[in-house]
Amino acid sequence: MPDDIYFYERTKGRTDGRYRFLSNFHKAMMIIDNKKYATVEHYFQSMKHAGTELEEMIRLASTPAKAKKLAWTRELTPNWPEIKEDVMIRALRAKFSQHSKLGAKLLATGNARLHEDSPTDVYWGVKGLDRSGKLLMIVRDELRKEVLRK
């Protein structure tokens, strides 16, 4: 197992596709608050406009890229900087707990450091704060503890 695993929705650079399932763009239908979301990205982007008509349009977007594009057509919820990590980890928990095969694949990454190999994202990606990988490692640790309790 490598010490570091790099993932991204497209295969490029250090990524080879085996870890694409870690991407927020990976199709994995989730139910959160009795609503279906096609991907983590759909949920995350829709929450930028929670309680507005745009929230539903984003949730139903045909692709995660379209969901992301729609989310940037209007100003974000004013408290977005304070809540965005809570929103993201909620989506990641749903994805990996509602899809046991994906949860097992996440656990199979062992203790490797996970990094989103985005070429541009300085908050979520490895070229910045690397928060996507860090939140995935938190979810992985939670899943590991849950498995040990059983």
What pLDDT shows up at residue 150? Answer: 72
Q: Are 104 and 97 in contact (CB under 8 A)?
A: no
pTM: 0.94
Q: What pLDDT score does 46 carry?
A: 98
Q: How confident is the model at residue 13 (pLDDT cuts 50, 70, 90)?
A: low
Q: What is the pLDDT of residues 92-139, one digit of tens each?
A: 999 999 999 999 999 999 999 999 999 899 999 999 999 999 999 999
The secondary structure of the chain as a DSSP string is --SEEEE-SS--TT--STTGGGSTTS---EEETTEEESSHHHHHHHHTTTTSHHHHHHHT-SSHHHHHHHHTTSPPPTTHHHHHHHHHHHHHHHHHHH-HHHHHHHHTTTTPEEEE--SS-TTTSTTTT-HHHHHHHHHHHHHHHHHHH-
Sorted by sequence, the CB contacts under 8 Å of residue 102 that are 6+ apart come out as 21, 26, 28, 95, 96
Grade residue 15 by pLDDT with cuts at 50, 70 and 90: low
pLDDT value of position 83: 98
- pLDDT score of 81: 96
Written as six digits, the tokens of 109 are: 């990454």
Which residue ranges make up each domain of the chain?
Answer: 4-149
A 10 A CB-CB count for 39 gives 23
pLDDT at 12: 63
The correct answer on CATH 3.40.50.10470 for the domain covering 4-149 is: no
Q: What percent of the chain has pLDDT over 90?
A: 86
Percent of the chain at pLDDT > 70 equals 95
The vertex-67 CA angle with 81 and 88, nearest 5°, equals 40
